[in-house]
Amino acid sequence: MKLSRLMSLVLIPIILVSGCVQQETSEIEKVKQVCVKACEDAMKAGRDLSSGPCLLNPMQDYPDWVCDVAHEPRQTVDNSAENQCSAFREGGATHFVEVTPNCKFIQSY
């Protein structure tokens, strides 16, 4: 009996935490897809992405996220605040997705 209570005390938090991680991961995947699509749409429209523009500032359905283009390979200048989306820089958004000028995912934070 004591062993089953102990197992419950250990397993229930693990199950709850794993559900939260899965939900967070799915949001990250969604924002990555939104950012890549915004990049592809900008390319199709003929927009020059070589200077690393901010594409979504913030993302419409994910206001805590921005979508930014960075160099490939990533350069030190990409870390400079003046080269980041203003919503992220000013604290309105706390997460970002970066893609290359060719719309390949680099990183999310």
- Counting as low any pLDDT under 50, the low residues of the chain are 3, 6-8, 10-21
Q: How far apart are CA 45 and CA 2, in angstroms?
A: 65
Which pLDDT value is given to residue 85?
Answer: 97
**pLDDT given for residue 14 in this prediction:** 47
Query: Domain map of the chain by residue range?
Result: 2-108
pLDDT of residue 15: 45
Half-sphere exposure of 53 (CA within 13 A, CB side): 11
- What CA–CA distance (Å, rounded) separates 23 from 18? 9
The per-residue pLDDT for range 90-100, each reduced to its tens digit, is 999 999 999 99
